[in-house]
Amino acid sequence: MDGFGNRDGKIWLDGDLVNWQDAKVHILSHAMHYASSVFEGERAYCGVVFKSREHAIRLIKSCSLLEMDLSFSLDDIEQAKQDVIQGNSLEDCYLRTIVWRGVGKNMGVSAPQNPIHMAICAWRMGEYFPSKKNGASLDISKWRRPDPLSFPPQAKASALYATATLAKHAAERQEFSGALMMDYRGYIAEATGANIFFAKDGEVHTPIAKTFLNGITRQTVIALLSQQGIHVIERDIRPEELPTFDECWLTGTAAEITPVIQIGHDYFYEPKTMTNTVTDLYSDAVQGPKVERNAMYS
């Protein structure tokens, strides 16, 4: 296999399933030059996309925040995802939906008349972090999440991932799995592509989603823990607090629940009761007990 540009399969593009290698974008597309695109990452388990409708709703919201008029409805998006899964004969897979401004009559920052396109791809995906079973390690990045007045943080926009790419590249050069990023004020924000949680004294602490995306997996985990009577505290967390926590984990559609065993060169954690609890709760939520799954998808 020669990478993602040279695969067999089908991609949903503006309403049609096309051959993978025929899904092309013009080089003068506005998104290529000015980052005017939004996307969703989703996982399907046994052919069913977890929180599918929530992801589609967030995609539409992201389009609105970036002033992109999406012509496809919520139901259209839901059907398109199923078409992609079935068209590629997949069950457990990762889906990437992307919406972008295409090429128009003018080439510049302003592009209100440029056509809006949408595509959905799907492929088999294992663990996001190769070290997931042993736990992820995070560098402490110099790059920060911006002031919310710089860009709408609740848009899952490609532009916001440029700093995450820089942070992750720097981390990988030092043999870390990813990086911990602060916000513009210096408080802990998130990791590169995943939200972060900490545990101590039977409680769970997580940064307030003010300067970063309030992940759907993050919201799911908070709800699952709350249902078990576990107190989840959303608050500003200072980096000086890192040595006070006993456990740490990441959440995200791709990352699922990934334990963190190290942050920087000074802080170390061990997955214990709380990490194991949230891992089991999330696994049951996305897949259900084995007997139930077999009945549901037979």
Q: Name the class of domain 10-123.
A: alpha beta
Catalytic residue set: 156
SS3 label, residue 1: coil
Could you check whether 10-123 and 136-286 share the same CATH topology?
A: no
CATH architecture of 136-286: Alpha-Beta Barrel (3.20)
Q: Domain limits of the chain?
A: 10-123, 136-286
The model's pTM = 0.92
pLDDT tens track of the chain, all 298 residues? 468 888 899 999 999 999 999 999 999 999 999 999 999 999 999 999 999 999 999 999 999 999 999 999 999 999 999 999 999 999 999 999 999 999 998 899 999 999 999 999 999 987 776 666 679 999 999 999 999 999 999 999 999 999 999 999 999 999 999 999 999 999 999 999 999 999 999 999 999 999 999 999 999 999 999 999 999 999 999 999 999 999 999 999 999 999 999 999 999 999 999 999 999 999 999 986 543 433 332 2
